[in-house]
Chain A
Amino acid sequence: MSRIILEARDIRYRYPRGLEAIRGISFHVRRGEKVALVGPNGAGKSTLLLMFNGMIKPDSGTILFDNSPISYDRASLRMLRKRVGFVLQNPDRQIISPTVYQDVAFGPVNLGYPEEKVKEAVEGALARVGLTGFGRRPPHQLSGGEKKRVAIAGVLAMDPDVLVFDEPTSGLDPSGSEDIMELLEELNQQGKTVIISTHDIELAYPWADRAILLLNGKILQEDVPDVAFGNPELVRLARLSMPTLLELYLELERRGFRLPERRPRTVLDMLNVIDRAFRNKPCYTQPGTITLFDIDSLRDADISGWCAAHPGIPIGAMGTRAKQRAADEKIPLDFTYGVIDKCILKALLGEHSLIIVTGSMVGRVHERVQAFCRENQVEIPVISHSGDA
Chain B
Amino acid sequence: MYEELLEDIAQQNRLREVNTCTKLTAGVGAILLCLLSASFVAPLFIGLVLTLTLLFLARVDPATYGKVFFGPLLFAGLGVGAIVLLAGGEGTFWSWQPLPWFSLSVTQASINQGIFVFSRVFGGTSALLFIAFTTPMTDLFLVMRRARLPEEVLDLAMIIYRTIFLIMDQLVQVYQAQLMRLGYRSFRESIRSFATLAGSVFIASWEAGEDLTRAMEARCYEGKFAVLGEGRPVCLPSAAAVVSFLAVSAWVVAATSHIRLV
Interface residues of A (CB under 8 A from B): 53, 55, 78, 81-82, 86, 88, 92-99, 101-103, 105-107, 109-112, 115, 118, 135-141, 154-155, 158
A42 to B212, CA, bound (A): 23
For residue A118, which residues in chain B have a CB less than 8 angstroms away from its CB? 227
A55 and B217 form a contact (CB under 8 A): yes
Render B131-149 as a binary contact track against A, CB cut-off 8 A, 1 for contact: 0000011100100000000
A96 touches B159 (CB 8 A): yes
Contact segment of B54-62, B173-181, B186-194, B218-226: B218-226
Most chain A beta-carbon contacts within 10 A, residue among B141, B216, B229: B229
Q: Contact partner of A109 among B7, B214, B226, CB < 8 A?
A: B226
Task: Report Cα–Cα, A325/B219, bound state, in Å.
Answer: 31
CA distance A187 to B152 in the complex (A): 36
Decide if B8 is an interface residue (CB 8 Å cutoff).
Answer: yes
Closest chain-B Cβ to A110's Cβ sits at a distance in Å of: 5
Residues on the B chain within 8 Å of A96, using CB = 159, 162, 212, 215-216, 219
B contacts with A: majority SS: helix
Would B219 and A154 count as touching, CB distance under 8 A? yes
Contact of A140 among B141, B165, B214, B216 (CB under 8 A): B165
Give the CA-CA distance A115 to B229 in the complex, in Å: 10
- Closest chain B residue, CB of each to CB of A107: B219
* B165 x A136 contact (CB < 8 A): no
Chain B, Cβ-Cβ closest to A118: B227
B161 interface hit (Cβ, 8 Å): yes
Rounded to whole angstroms, the CA-CA distance of A93 and B169 in the bound complex is: 13
What 10 A-B pairs come out closest when comparing CB atoms?
A140-B165, A101-B229, A105-B226, A102-B226, A93-B211, A106-B226, A110-B222, A110-B220, A98-B161, A107-B219
A128 to chain B, nearest CB (A): 17
| B202-247 with Cβ < 8 A to chain A | 208, 211-212, 214-229
Can you list 8 pairs linking A and B with CB atoms under 8 Å apart? A88-B215, A98-B137, A99-B138, A99-B228, A101-B226, A102-B158, A102-B229, A109-B226
Most buried by A among B136, B224, B227: B227
Task: Evaluate contact between A105 and B227: CB separation under 8 angstroms.
Answer: yes
**Residues from chain B with Cβ under 8 Å of A98 in the complex:** 137-138, 141, 158, 161-162
Majority DSSP secondary structure for residues of A touching B? helix
Contact of A78 among B8, B220, B226 (CB under 8 A): B220
Which B residues are in CB contact (< 8 Å) with A105?
Answer: 226-227, 229
Q: Which residues of A contact B259 (CB under 8 A)?
A: none
- Chain B residue at minimal CB-CB distance from A157: B219
Return the contact of A86 from the options B218, B225, B228 (Cβ within 8 A). B218
Are B226 and A103 in contact (CB-based, < 8 A)? yes
Number of inter-chain CB pairs below 8 Å: 95
B105 contacts chain A at the CB level, 8 A cutoff? no
Please tell me if the beta carbons of A97 and B166 are within 8 angstroms of each other in the complex: no
With known contacts A136-B229, A137-B11, A93–B222 Cβ distance under 8 A: no
Contact across chains for A102 and B227 when beta carbons are under 8 A apart: yes
Instruction: Enumerate chain B residues within 8 angstroms of A155, measured Cβ to Cβ.
Output: 219
Contact of A106 among B138, B161, B219 (CB under 8 A): B219
A102 to B165: give the CA distance in the assembly, Å.
Answer: 17
Tell me the complex Cα distance, A96–B214, Å: 11
Chain B contributes a number of interface residues (CB within 8 A of A) equal to: 32
CA distance in complex: A136, B230 (Å): 9
Q: Pick the residue among A102, A137, A139, A154 that contacts B228 (CB under 8 A).
A: A102
Q: How far is the CA of A101 from the CA of B223 in the complex (A)?
A: 18
Q: How far is the CA of A96 from the CA of B216 in the complex (A)?
A: 8
B142 nearest CB across to chain A (Å):
10
CB-nearest residue of chain B to A104: B226
- List residues of chain B with CB within 8 A of the CB of A106: 216, 219, 221, 225-226
Q: Chain A contacts of B161 at CB under 8 A? A: 98
Give the residue among B11, B162, B212 with the most A Cβ atoms within 10 A.
B162
Q: 12 new A-B pairs (CB below 8 Å) besides A78-B222, A99-B228?
A: A86-B218, A96-B162, A97-B158, A97-B162, A97-B226, A101-B226, A101-B229, A105-B226, A106-B221, A106-B225, A138-B7, A138-B165
Q: Which residues of A contact B211 (CB under 8 A)?
A: 93
Bound CA span A107–B7, Å: 26
The reply to whether B11 and A141 contact each other, CB–CB distance below 8 Å, is yes
Q: Are A53 and B227 in contact, CB atoms less than 8 angstroms apart?
A: no
Known A55-B217, A96-B215, A110-B219; contact A139-B227, beta-carbon cutoff 8 A: no
Instruction: Kindly provide the distance from the CB of A242 to the nearest chain B CB, expressed in whole angstroms.
Output: 34
Expressed in whole angstroms, the Cα–Cα distance for A107 and B228 within the complex equals 13
* Cβ contacts under 8 Å, A136 to chain B: 138, 229
C-alpha spacing A140/B161, complex, angstroms: 10
Determine the chain B residues whose CB is within 8 A of the CB of A93 once the complex forms.
208, 211-212, 215
Given contacts A95-B162, A106-B225, A136-B229, contact A82 B220 (CB under 8 A): yes
Assembly CA distance A131 to B20 (angstroms): 24
**B220–A81 CB distance below 8 A:** yes
Closest to A78 in B: B220
Bound Cα distance A53, B161 (Å): 29
**How many angstroms from the CA of A158 to the CA of B262 in the assembled complex?**
69
Q: B254 to chain A: closest CB distance in Å? A: 40
What's the least CB distance linking A81 to chain B, in Å? 5
Contacts of B225 in A (CB 8 A): 97, 102, 106, 109
- B136, B217, B226: most-surrounded residue (chain A CB, <10 A): B226
Q: How far is the CB of A23 from chain B (nearest CB, A)?
A: 24
CB A230 to nearest CB in B, in angstroms, measures 35
Using CB atoms, name the residue of chain A closest to B137: A98
Asked if A94 and B229 make an inter-chain contact with CB atoms under 8 angstroms apart, the answer reads: no
Given A96-B162, A98-B141, A140-B165; A110-B224 close (CB under 8 Å): yes
- Across the interface, do B215 and A94 meet the contact criterion of CB distance under 8 Å? yes
Closest to B7 in A: A138
CA distance A154 to B220 in the complex (A): 11
A325–B217 Cα gap in the complex (Å)?
Answer: 36
